[in-house]
Chain A
C-alpha cells in the first residue's frame, strides 16, 4: 500500500461538544476519514450537523468537553480557525455571512495568499490572481460581477452557495466539509455546485458532505453514509443507506438503530 492510502486525513474520537455553558449537543462522535473518501452525514434538523461542522472548523461558540480530533497528524482542536484553514480544512457554510464594504475579490485574494504564505510560496500578484479567479468563476457558471460586489452582500441563496464553491475551488482543501450546501439551491445551481465539488475529488483529498436530504447525494456520490441523530452517529453504511433513509425517513432508521 502507498503512503497516501495508509494516511488518515481526519480521525475523530468520542467527540463531545456543547455551546459554552449549555447542554451537550454532540454526544460522542467517532469517525475516520481517509484520503480520497467522501463521507455523507445525514440527519434531521437539530441533530448536530452544523455543530459538528463548526467544531471541526474551529468556531469558539462551541466548547469541546471530551474527545480528540487528529488532522494529518496534528491535534486539530489546538489550532485556531485560520491555522486549520491554511492547513487545508475548509467549511462551506450553511449560512454564508454577508460582509459589507469588503469586496469579494479582495477577500478571495487574502484567503488565497494566506494559504500560499503558509506553504512558503510567494503571494500571487493582482494580475496572476485575477486570471486564476476569473477562470474559476467561469467554471462555476458565475458572472465576473460577483468579484467586485461585497462578500455575499445581497447575494441570493444560490449565489451564496456558488460563492462557497468558488472559495473551495480556489483554496483546494485537503478536507472539505460541506454543511447543507444543497439547501436553498435550485436544480441548476445544485448541479453547478456539485460539479465544482466533483472536480475537486482527488486521491489526496477527502470530503464530509452534510445534508438533510438525499438529493445532493445523487450528484455527489458518497463512499460512506452516516446517520446523525441527537448528537450521535447511529448508523453507517454505503450509499444504499441514503436510499433507505429516503424511503423510511429518519424515524425508521432511528428506531431500527
Chain B
C-alpha cells in the first residue's frame, strides 16, 4: 500500500498566523514575506508519520509537533526541513511507549534554525530523538536545546549530529542537551556528534545529566512546601524553559498546562484534552 499523496499546506503573506494540521504525510511550504505557526498534534499512533518543510528566504515558520499518543503505542515521525529563511521548531515528545523522531534540517545561505525538544517519560516509556542539522552553505545559524525529564524506568535517547559542509564558512551552530532523571532507574543516552568540513565556523555543544538538587529540594521544604510539591516545582522549573519559548500564546499555555498535569501524574497520555 502506498502512502496517500500529501496535501501541501502553502502559506503566503497575509494567511492566518496560526494553523493546525492533521498529522500524517504533511508538507508545508512557506513563501518569502510570510510568517506563521503550524501545530501538528499527534494523538494517534503512526509508524510512518512524516513532515516535509520548506522555508523560503524571507519567511518565518514556527513549527510545533506535540506528540501525545497513548503511552503503550509505537510512534515514528520523520521531519525534513529545508531552510533558507527562519525556522523555529518545537518537538514535544510527551506520549508513546516507544516514540522516535528523526529531525533533519538543511540550512541554506543565511538560513536560521532554532530547535527545541522536550522528552517526557515515565513507566517504561522510551523516547528517541535524533537530529541531523546540515549547514550546507555559508553564513547559516542553528541552535538546538533538547531536554528530557524521566521518571520510573523511562529512557530517552538524544542523538544529535551537526554537519558543516565544505564551503559553509561562518557557520554558527550550537547544541545543548540537558537531562533530569527523577528516579534512579531512569536512564538517558546522549550522543552528540560533529562533522566539520569547513574553516572559520563556530560549533558549540554540551550535555548534562543529573538528578534533582538536594540543596534546592531542602530550600523549598524549609519554606513549608511539601516534598512532592517541591519535586514537582523543580521538575517544572527544569522543563518549562522549552515550552516558554513557544511564541504562540495559546499553544504555550496548553503545553505548560500539559506539563503540570504530567507532573501531577494524572495524565498518562501526555496532555490530550
Contact = CB atoms under 8 A, between A and B. Distances in A.
Contacts of A75: none
Interface residues of A, number: 32
Chain B interface size, under 10 / 10 to 19 / 20 to 34 / 35 or more: 20 to 34
B197 interface: no
Contacts of B229: 110
A96 interface: yes
Nearest to A110: B225
B219 A97 contact: yes
B238 A80 contact: no
B215 interface: yes
Interface string B203-222: 00000000001111011111
Given A100-B237, A101-B237, A114-B226, A81 B216 contact: no
B15 interface: no
Interface in B220-266: 220-227, 229-230, 233-234, 236-241
Given A81-B218, A97-B216, A167 B223 contact: yes
Nearest to A117: B224
Given A100-B238, A150-B237, A82 B219 contact: no
Given A99-B216, A101-B241, A91 B234 contact: no
Interface in A67-101: 80-82, 84-86, 90-91, 93, 96-101
B224 A96 contact: no
7 contacts: A58-B222, A59-B218, A82-B226, A97-B218, A99-B234, A100-B238, A110-B220
Interface of B: 213-216, 218-227, 229-230, 233-234, 236-241
Interface of A: 57-61, 80-82, 84-86, 90-91, 93, 96-102, 106-107, 110-111, 114-115, 118, 150-151, 167, 171
